[in-house]
Amino acid sequence: MSETTPTSGAAGLRGWLLSPSPGSTLQARCQRAYLGWLALRSNPIAMTGLFIVGTLVFMAIFAPLLTATNGLKPDLPNRLQPFSAEHWLGTDQLGRDIYDRIVWGSRITLYIVGLVSVIVVPIGLAIGTIAGYMGGWVDNALMRFTDIFLAFPRLILALALVAALGPGLENAVLAIALTTWSPYARIARAEVLTIRNSEYIMAAQAQGASTFRILRRHIVPMCLASVIIRLTLDMAGIILTAAGLGFLGLGAQPPSPEWGAMISTGRQLLLDQWWVPTVPGIAIFLVSLGFCLLGDGLRDVLDPKSSDT
């Protein structure tokens, strides 16, 4: 069969994406992605979350264009200014513009979220898929190792790790990642247990495919949807844990505009200059809410069975 290609024009592209009989693997993948986008777009809650997350990404990318300063240099004559045309969200006790610090702090938040995701997903997928596919003593050993991390509250374990490693943003990210990967291993293992005896897995084994190839080509892709859903829903917890570490002085260090640290330095001004600790708190709340809403929408798209139960 010859490979089907999209015709010119938007209507032709839409018809190619909605073709009932895809003519190639590329067309099938594009069609699946397009149908997922249509389902996500029809969910107002998911689109609200996507808008909030998109705003975070936009602020992080274009921070130099959206702000007048980098939010680090003190300006004591303008300290503790309320909302105004010059300072949209007021200033802190050192005269730094809070709006500028919120925008630049979005880069730190996105850095934490991105780096933690890059660490926890491969670790969780690797341990979970190997344990589920191999079974036996390998499964028992890896799952008991996973249970050790699941047995401790995430924030408490992160505090202990950061205390051992020393304060700093990179150490905070590492501590959060080391306390976050275990649920992904459990999810991946559960997915593998449901498919490891499937006919297409047995066919690959009969053809002499290696364990690594079976895991990489057939098993890991089947686990990605559940892991992505869990990761998106976990973003709020990751952000709150990072903010908690920053609040305690164990995360990003001053004068870095990390939102948790901003709350910590302004908490004594809550009654008189309430905007100093409140604005970064609202930013944390909105971003956490955005990831939760987006994760809920992705769950409906990627795992529709869970939304029906």
Q: What is the pLDDT of residue 3?
A: 46
Judged by average pLDDT, the poorest of 25-34, 49-58, 99-108, 119-128 is 25-34
DSSP letter assigned to residue 86: S
Domains of the chain, earliest start first: 24-308 (1.10.3720.10)
Q: What is the pTM assigned to this prediction? A: 0.86
Q: What is the mean pLDDT of residues 32-60?
A: 89
Q: Is the pLDDT of residue 118 over 90?
A: yes
Per the prediction, the chain carries an average pLDDT of 87
Q: Is the pLDDT of residue 307 over 60?
A: no
Angle at CA of residue 252, ends 246 and 256, nearest 5°: 110
| 248 Cβ contact partners less than 8 Å away, ≥ 6 residues apart | 159, 264
d(CA 266, CA 283): 15
Q: Is the pLDDT of residue 1 over 50?
A: no
Angle at CA of residue 165, ends 162 and 169, nearest 5°: 60
Res. 11 pLDDT band, cuts 50 70 90? low
| 68 Cβ contact partners less than 8 Å away, ≥ 6 residues apart | 97, 100
Q: Is the pLDDT of residue 259 over 70?
A: yes
Q: Is the pLDDT of residue 261 over 80?
A: yes
The answer to whether the CB of 4 falls within 8 A of the CB of 16 is yes
